[in-house]
Amino acid sequence: METICSVQCVTRKIKGKEIAQNVSFEVSKGEIVGLLGPNGAGKTTTMKMIVGLSEISVGDIKIMGYSIKDDLSKALNNIGAVIEEPTFYPYLTGNENLRQYQRMHKTDDRKWLLEVANLVGIEYALKQRVATYSMGMKQRLGIAQALLKKPKLLVLDEPTNGLDPVGIRDIREYLKQLADNLGMGILISSHQLSEIEKIADRVIIMQDGRIFADQQIGDGTNDGFSRIILHIDDAEHTSKIVAELFGVNSSVSKSITVERLPNQLYTVALTINENQIPKLLTSLCIVGISVFRVLSLRTPLEEQYLNLTNSKS
């Protein structure tokens, strides 16, 4: 697979403090990579170094083989980015902002401008002044602007901020199309782990400026186990059934936590292989335990992310 972006042992120091420490990873053609981590983990700093907005103290970053340190202009020609909140000329229309961006980069492909506006669902508002745009509309316009150069690498920092659920779904579908149809490499940071799990091929988890995990979605992030919550009327009997089915010392039995609800019911939370959930529910019903609700507590990626970041705190 062709490498679009290569981050090579990169460190960023500010006043002697290492904001990013020895960070290394790659983004390949057609690959969507999620960059995760708590606030202050170094995600935005890493992205800023990739797009040339922050100085690289140690190491190097190459985009399509061009060094950010030595061939910045050639490297940037292959990058489209939205870092933090996108900014525009508020007194100009959406179309005028995009046209101005094209002029800055000496391009004049009006057909592509309309295509990307269509792609991100902003074509209906191109004649409106950006001052009238909602935050979600500005996010869409920012992604459209980033695509105008037909970049090989798209870097997006929290692109779904300010979007409603429909907008989030739409952006997810747009990005999949860009990766699949245009072979674009995409690096995206987000706090919405469920969205990253739906869209990314791979996740990189950062904390304290370092990378603690770099793995494929489904490779260790989802081993078939889920954390579920049952709303039932007999917690003690439920625990006994779980012990009989899986063993007293099994990981399932040891994972159980119980809380009493105001309506005389109980919540029983446990971690169980997804294939075993029907067997458990059937066994509970057979012995007369009423199951009022079954809820998923966390996604597999969320579970792994929280376990990892908590263990490294």
Pairing of strands 266-273, 225-232: antiparallel
Calculate mean pLDDT across residues 157-178: 84
pLDDT > 90 fraction of the chain, expressed in percent and rounded:
60
Quick one: 194 and 143 in the same domain?
Answer: yes
Domain that includes residue 262, residue range: 225-311
Quick one: 200 and 279 in the same domain?
Answer: no
| First vs last C-alpha separation in the chain | 35
Give pLDDT tens digits for 217-233: 755 444 567 778 999 99
Give pLDDT tens digits for 230-245: 999 999 999 999 999 9
Quick one: 148 and 282 in the same domain?
Answer: no
- What is the residue-averaged pLDDT of the chain? 89
Residue 309 has pLDDT above 90, yes or no: no
Quick one: 245 and 142 in the same domain?
Answer: no
Give pLDDT tens digits for 289-300: 999 999 876 566
Quick one: 201 and 281 in the same domain?
Answer: no
Query: Side by side, which strands form the sheet with 266-273?
Result: 257-260, 266-273, 225-232, 291-298
Quick one: 46 and 126 in the same domain?
Answer: yes
Give pLDDT tens digits for 175-208: 998 899 889 999 999 887 878 888 899 999 998 8
Quick one: 195 and 249 in the same domain?
Answer: no
Our count of domains for the chain comes to 2
Calculate mean pLDDT across residues 120-136: 93
Confidence (pLDDT) at 221: 47
CATH number at 19 reads 3.40.50.300
Quick one: 58 and 179 in the same domain?
Answer: yes
Confidence (pLDDT) at 194: 78
Calculate mean pLDDT across residues 160-178: 84
In contact, 46 and 206? CB cutoff 8 Å: yes
pLDDT band at 281 (very low <50, low <70, confident <90, very high): very high
Give pLDDT tens digits for 71-125: 999 999 999 999 887 889 999 999 999 999 999 888 888 999 999 999 888 999 9
In contact, 146 and 154? CB cutoff 8 Å: yes
Quick one: 78 and 42 in the same domain?
Answer: yes
Residues 6+ apart with CB under 8 A from 282: none
Residues 6+ apart with CB under 8 A from 39: none
Q: How far apart are CA 285 and CA 120, in angstroms?
A: 48
pLDDT > 70 fraction of the chain, expressed in percent and rounded:
93
Give pLDDT tens digits for 149-163: 899 999 999 888 777
Q: Tell me which of 165 and 300 has the higher pLDDT.
A: 165
Domain end: 216, 246, 271, which one? 216
Confidence (pLDDT) at 311: 57
Quick one: 307 and 275 in the same domain?
Answer: yes
Confidence (pLDDT) at 310: 66
Domain end: 162, 194, 216, which one? 216
**Structure tokens, 195:** 């969205």
pTM for this one? 0.74
Residue from 201, 193, 130 nearest 160 by CA? 193
Quick one: 72 and 146 in the same domain?
Answer: yes
Quick one: 237 and 196 in the same domain?
Answer: no
Domain end: 177, 193, 216, which one? 216
CATH number at 302 reads 3.30.70.120
Q: How far apart are CA 193 and CA 212, in angstroms?
A: 16
